[in-house]
């Protein structure tokens, strides 16, 4: 993964500051693994509610994938949890070259 080229390219695109911060966390700290929303929110010093629109922005742009899972929460009740990861092509050097063309 060539995260530096990806980040440099994304600096030149139209994306909100929050979205760029979340994207940076995904590129630099997750190695493409699925992470839950609270993990990402903590990493950018925001609440899970504050990054909802950011997640939608990144998903709409095709930079991340979302997965909702019906799991048992900390309270013992079943609830939906949302996980995100980088989209398959958002970190490949080839996609950066294609986007730049």
Residue 63 and residue 55 in contact, taking contact as beta carbons nearer than 8 Å? no
Split at pLDDT 50, 70, 90, the class of 12 is low
Q: What is the pTM of this model?
A: 0.73
From residue 19, alpha-carbon distances to 9, 15, 25, 79, 91 in Å are 14, 6, 10, 26, 15
Q: Tokens 């994304």 — which residue?
A: 10
Confidence check: pLDDT of 69 > 80? yes
If you average pLDDT over each of 7-11, 34-38, 69-73, which comes out highest? 34-38
Residue 73 and residue 79 in contact, taking contact as beta carbons nearer than 8 Å? yes
Bigger pLDDT: 50 or 4? Answer: 50
């Amino acid at each position: 993964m060539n995260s530096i080229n990806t980040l440099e390219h994304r600096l030149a695109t139209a994306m909100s500051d929050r979205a760029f911060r979340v994207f940076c966390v995904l590129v630099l700290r997750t190695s493409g693994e699925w992470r839950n929303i609270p993990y990402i929110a903590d990493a950018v010093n925001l609440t899970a509610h504050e990054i909802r629109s950011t997640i939608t922005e990144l998903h709409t742009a095709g930079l991340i994938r979302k997965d909702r899972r019906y799991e048992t929460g900390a309270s013992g009740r079943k609830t939906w949890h949302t996980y995100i990861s980088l989209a398959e092509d958002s970190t490949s050097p080839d996609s950066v070259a294609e986007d730049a063309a």
